[in-house]
Structure 1
Amino acid sequence: MTIKVGPAGGYNANKGWDDGSIGKVKQIFITYDDDYGVKSIQTVLEFPGGSVLMDKHGGQGRNFRTISLAENESIILVRGYYLTFYGGGLIKSLSIRTTLREYGPYGCDVVRGDDIYQFNFEVEADKLAGFYGSSDHFSLHAIGIYMHTEATITLEEMKKQGHAIDKMMVRPSVPRLTYLEA
């Protein structure tokens, strides 16, 4: 099963895109401007039987970079900075770390301030399954990832299949407090 992590940035569902989680990321194409930030992202996903070039998300940049992953290389960290403004946002800087090296940062130099935020999406090797986010024809506004999990079924699916879920099986994520009377 996969889960969505993020997105970071100024996500706008009307401008949203979703490459899904159909395979393994093999290549990433990034355009950016040194004074503006990340303009676009595009990926090649490998799946059993072939590979597919996904749509380009964003606009044209003055700089273009290709990240081509080796057969034994996988993404373990996607990080960067985004700027927020009037409910929107822009990805200002993007870095990709793999099991072999770090790529980037791509975009502009960032000075953290009131409207600049950092994001870090860290995953185990071979767990990143794809990207999603939002963009327009000028730039990349938000980015998130799909991550493979060890789960084979969700709790909700178990309930739909008629499994009785013992309340003792499901432990809350917040510890319970026990009060003792004096």
Structure 2
Amino acid sequence: MSHTPSDPAPAGTPDADPELHSALRLLRACGAEDMDHPGGTLLAHLLRVRQRLAVWEARPALQLAGLCHAFYGTDGFAQALLPLERRPELAEAIGAEAEAIVHFYGACDRKVSYRELGTYRNRFTGRTRDATPREQRDLAELTAANELDIALADEEFRLRHGADLLELFTRMRPALSPAAWRETAKVLGDTA
């Protein structure tokens, strides 16, 4: 039996887990399936980001965070699927660790945090602090998976922003997995 990319895998397969099913239900309930995004819908984009992280062998919590990374909006995608007051709802659906990654990613002030990976500024609170090594790795990996998906879905975006993204990911390279760096260099290498 086959399944479409927007549906969870059949029971008994490695992708059949309750958090994935809960995340997909919540994403659909919040309208991700109906929102336009480069490469189709927001839900299709989120599924591709999760799949890319799985190919890179990211831990399950980071894969779920990749699937759900737009729930609170981001510094580059303002439309939130849930308000911050509903964080417990997302945590219940995907687990506390994955939700914390989603919040960290969504709250990231990119102008400050991308300049120096160890420094993190929360765009919701305005507070700045040091990011832990794990937070730096999660932010770098999720950012790469997200931006590479957009670059592959939208040639104009890749041509316009590819060189800047390659520069960003070169700075982030110590925090990227080897698989993430290889794909980054492959997708963005000809834009520099």
Superposition TM-score tier, normalisation by shorter sequence:
under 0.3
Structure (1/2) with the larger helix percentage:
2
Which protein has the larger Cα radius of gyration, Structure 1 or Structure 2? Answer: 1
Report which structure shows greater RCO (CA 8 Å, sep ≥6).
Answer: 1
Higher share of residues assigned strand: 1
